[in-house]
Amino acid sequence: MITLIVDSTWNLHMGKKTNLTLYVDKNLVKEAKELGINLSAFFEIKLREYLALIKPREDVKACRGRDSNPGPTDYESVAPTS
């Protein structure tokens, strides 16, 4: 188990933070520490990336499904007929 704790001076610069307890394979934690990886920062970055990936985007129209009467594809409209 690791507990991610952010000190109060970092909170002043980075916005509101909270403590979080995660259960992570101890070998992964050991290797990350040996490589100098800041697990709090890593988790926060990856969580932001994941949330951006799964959130529906407002600037993209939602797919309404397959058209029941689709026209010819671009290929079919220019393909020579014999």
Please provide the average confidence, as pLDDT, over all residues in the chain: 78
Q: Over the stretch 26-53, which tens digit does the pLDDT of each residue have?
A: 999 999 999 999 999 999 999 999 999 9
* Cβ within 8 Å of residue 75, ≥6 positions away: none
Virtual torsion, Cα 13, 18, 21, 22, nearest 10 deg: -60
Return the domain boundaries, the chain. Answer: 2-56
What pTM did the predictor assign?
Answer: 0.52
